[in-house]
A = this chain, B = another copy of it.
Amino acid sequence: MEYSDATKELLNGAGASIGDHISVTTRGAVQRGMVMPRHMFTGPDILVLKLSSGYNIGLRIGEGTTLVLIEEAKKEERPSSTPPGTGLPPVAFLSTGGTIASYVDYRTGAVHPAVEAQDLLFTVPELSDLCEVRSTVLSSILSEDMDVALWQELANAIVLEFEKGARGVIVPHGTDTLGYTAAALSYMLTSLPGPVVLVGSQRSSDRPSSDATMNLLAATRVALAPIGEVVVVMHDSSSDDRCAIHRGSRVRKMHTSRRDAFQSINTLPLGYVEGKEVTILEKVRGLEKRAAADTRMEPNVVLVHAYPGITPARFSGMTSGAKGVVIAGTGLGHISSDIVPVISKLVAGGVRVVMTSQCLWGSTNLNVYSTGRELLQAGVEPCGDMLPETALVELMCRLARQPGKRGTDAGHRRERHE
């Protein structure tokens, strides 16, 4: 969250930045306080000051606003990791960005974007009671900008952390595409000696309702459990009573803003974290000796939503040049029957076309209705109860690993963890 250019210029002009103490004069009124980062829900021209009372106020920056630097923020040395030799198990934190990676400085109340590795430990000091923290900032992006190259980099970095002795790896991640990344890592990481835990937060740490601290602590407890899988740990309800542990290939963001937005689809969560207790209720994959990744992915795969009125020409345009096509079909896995000949041509040309359902819950079944059977004859591969997002990354992996080979397991697709 950045301030507007005008506000930034005013700050720069006074040599002031976030954390510094300033005085601001607007319309004759003077306010003194510490410059806070822009608040998520205020406009870019509202400068937020923390007053000595502890309260924050927003000041609208306009013509005639003047600003004077009083005192620069104290810079401190902050460790990016707890010192080794504490006897606690090492856990690696590989930050990618997102709301969870906006760390609050508890002394000043200021919110930092996660550009420095030490922010994490500084924000949630309780982490050092649980593990030896090894913190790295891999990237600081908005999660909607996640892509195949970043997934590959992340998978390699995870393997490296395990090779360096981490008991588990935690990936703080923006929630928008957290489900996609969890699925991608599930397929890329072929062998794991410890859990890979993706964690996000729906509300940033500067808000009283933030889920960041609880989710991070719960994720850390899961990172020490004997689970050789990629999982997602997030709030299980809109209260703060427990977090759920979701299988990486089975989880989806089902609400734009609630803290319990993430749900396991077509399966139950693997378990829960309540306070200090981690309870695993479903069968999970055990630990392997070493970490290994196969990061090959064909990025040229397209996800198409079926809807009434989609024309053969539109479908052709949407899928033109793709190596793989994932259809989020209607119902049991259908699309308007005049699309079937287009799909036949794609398959004949070597393109893999797979079918999921936009219902999200339930399984595809192409044997019930005539359109389904025609789609099967056209060479469409049904994905069972796999999420469209998971089918997308699964197909990206499969195309890169077996470029010339059609799936022989239509209807019974391999899912790494099941």
Contacts and interface: CB of A to CB of B under 8 A. Distances in A.
Contacts of A369: 1, 142
Which range holds the interface residue count of chain A? 35 or more
Interface stretch (A17-25, A61-69, A252-260): A252-260
A309 B317 contact: no
Interface string A295-338: 00001011111111110001001101110000011111111111
Contact of A176 (B184, B322, B331): B331
Indicate the member of A362, A389, A396 with the most B CB atoms within 10 Å: A362
A360 interface: yes
A344 interface: no
A147 interface: yes
Interface string A341-364: 000000000000000010111111
A145 interface: yes
A256 B361 CA distance: 6
Given A303-B307, A307-B389, A307-B392, A335 B254 contact: no
27 contacts: A1-B370, A41-B368, A142-B334, A142-B337, A142-B371, A144-B306, A144-B331, A144-B335, A144-B337, A144-B371, A147-B309, A148-B309, A151-B308, A175-B331, A176-B330, A177-B308, A253-B330, A255-B359, A256-B361, A256-B365, A257-B363, A257-B365, A261-B362, A301-B309, A305-B388, A317-B317, A317-B320
Q: Give 3 closest A-B pairs by Cβ, nearest first.
A: A256-B362, A176-B331, A176-B330
